[in-house]
């Protein structure tokens, strides 16, 4: 939805008796949004947002005020952390709120570029592209951000929307629609974000829920300034830097000392802490010559990223049992306690990933995969690339 021309907007507003100051403020907001990106759909107020989305105004207003029972559904997944038990909370918004969030993704966030060092959560991003930033790596520092989405606060999200050109009140309201306000327990609740109107007062400051469609892109934008500092640090010390979501990688193709690497690690952790992000020290590692240097599961000690031997061997093992006369898809699926269709898509996904990284290996694996005696699979269960069935 493109913004109307200033002349037509002024003319139409005056005919309807809209105050001049209101019209001037609206045109100024349109101009700010155009400066960010002319493809962003201009929205001026929450009621205006209700009109363009077709969502009830009072639902949006009560959601912003956190007065309504929003109805997030929570799913807890066990994290794979050796030696300790930990859970990841996935927060799934109800359809009405998810519709508002998807509108923001499709009409606003998709047009805002993250930092060039970011390789996730935006069009054409890829873990392979991230790994390609680290050719011939001799030394590697990997840092993980703990509770990445949950570290992005409501006030940070509000500042992001305001920086795009939206009016401050609407930026706050958008932030409330994109965040969830929960009591995180003693000592874990930051001071509430000051609300512009009394109805919006809340006891807890919201944070990005993992599971909302807006969270990945908003988290990327929340990292822009931090990415700038980390990129400058890497450049000043002769390192390459990339980030894929909460996975940060710093590499060098030159000889380094362990003291240099630990000094870099300290500076990276300092920058993250000052920005409000907590480094996950259990997943922070330094790798040098004689060790496996892996970025996002790919080996980067050569000129191009490569699949690990273990990953290839896993595919080869699947293909052996799938094509063996004594086993085949049905027996292999039974041995793995899964269905044939699930096994089909699992192995096909592994091969698709392999093809992105090493096309020759992936193509050979796909030929073998297709030679297996697969039972009839319903067309809707098969992607277009597998219409050979």
Contacts of 18 (CB under 8 A, 6+ apart): none
Query: How high is the pLDDT of residue 77?
Result: 82
**pLDDT by residue (tens digit) across 241-283?**
999 999 999 999 999 999 999 999 999 999 999 999 999 999 9
Can you list the residues of the chain whose pLDDT is less than 50? 82-85, 378-389
Could you give the percent of the chain with pLDDT greater than 90? 71
H helix count then E strand count, the chain: 15, 9
> Quick one: pLDDT at residue 386?
46
Buried b (16+ CB within 10 A) or exposed e, 305-324: bbbeeebbeebeebbebbbe
Angle among Cα 215, 221, 222 to the nearest 5 degrees reads 80
Cβ of 63: how many Cβ atoms within 10 Å?
Answer: 23
Is the Cα dihedral 63, 64, 66, 70 positive or negative?
positive
Q: 230 and 241 in contact (C-beta within 8 Å)?
A: yes
Phi, psi of 244 (to 5 degrees): -120, 100
Q: How far apart are CA 270 and CA 280, in angstroms?
A: 13
Domain boundaries, the chain: 127-147+221-299, 308-371
User: CATH 3.30.70.270: does it fit domain 127-147+221-299?
Assistant: yes
**Strand residues in the chain grouped as ranges (E):** 73-78, 87-92, 139-146, 240-244, 247-252, 278-287, 294-295, 298-299, 306-307
- Express each pLDDT in 42-83 by its tens digit: 999 999 999 999 999 999 999 999 875 568 888 888 766 544
Yes or no: say if 268 and 231 are a contact pair by the CB < 8 Å rule: no
Q: Return the closest-CA partner of residue 63 out of 102, 98, 97, 107.
A: 97
CA distance 273 to 145: 10
């Amino acid at each position: 939805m493109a913004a109307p021309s200033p002349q037509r907007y002024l003319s139409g507003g005056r005919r309807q008796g809209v105050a001049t100051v209101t019209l001037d403020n609206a045109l100024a907001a349109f101009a700010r949004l155009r400066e960010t990106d002319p493809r962003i759909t201009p929205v001026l107020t929450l009621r205006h947002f209700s009109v363009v989305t077709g969502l009830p105004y009072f639902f949006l207003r009560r959601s912003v005020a956190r007065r309504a029972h929003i109805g997030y559904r929570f799913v807890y997944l066990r994290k794979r952390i050796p030696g300790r038990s930990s859970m990841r909370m996935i927060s799934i918004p109800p359809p009405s709120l998810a519709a508002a969030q998807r509108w923001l993704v499709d009409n606003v966030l998709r047009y805002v570029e993250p930092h060039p060092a970011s390789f996730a959560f935006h069009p054409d991003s890829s873990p392979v592209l991230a790994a390609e930033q680290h050719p011939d790596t001799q030394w590697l520092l990997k840092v993980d951000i703990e509770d990445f989405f949950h570290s992005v606060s409501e006030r940070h999200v509000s500042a992001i929307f305001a920086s795009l050109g939206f009016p401050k009140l609407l930026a706050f309201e958008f932030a409330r629609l994109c965040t969830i306000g929960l009591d995180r327990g003693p000592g874990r609740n930051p001071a509430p974000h000051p609300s512009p109107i009394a109805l919006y007062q809340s006891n807890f400051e919201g944070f990005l829920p993992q599971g909302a469609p807006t969270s990945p892109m908003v988290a990327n934008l929340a990292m822009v300034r931090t990415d700038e500092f980390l990129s400058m640090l890497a450049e000043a010390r002769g390192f390459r830097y990339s980030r894929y979501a909460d996975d940060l990688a710093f590499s060098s193709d030159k000889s380094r000392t362990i003291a240099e690497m630990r000094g870099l690690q300290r500076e990276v952790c300092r920058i993250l802490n000052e920005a409000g992000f907590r480094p996950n020290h259990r997943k922070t590692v330094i790798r040098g010559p004689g060790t496996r240097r892996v970025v996002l599961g790919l080996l980067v000690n050569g000129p191009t990223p490569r699949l690990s031997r273990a990953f290839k061997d896993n595919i080869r093992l699947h293909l052996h049992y799938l094509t063996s006369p004594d086993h085949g898809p049905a027996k292999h699926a039974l041995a793995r306690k899964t269905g044939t269709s699930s096994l089909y898509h699992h192995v096909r996904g592994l091969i698709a990933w392999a093809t992105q990284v090493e096309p020759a290996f992936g193509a050979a694996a796909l030929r073998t995969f297709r030679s297996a005696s697969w039972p009839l699979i319903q067309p809707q269960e098969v992607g277009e690339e597998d219409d050979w069935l």
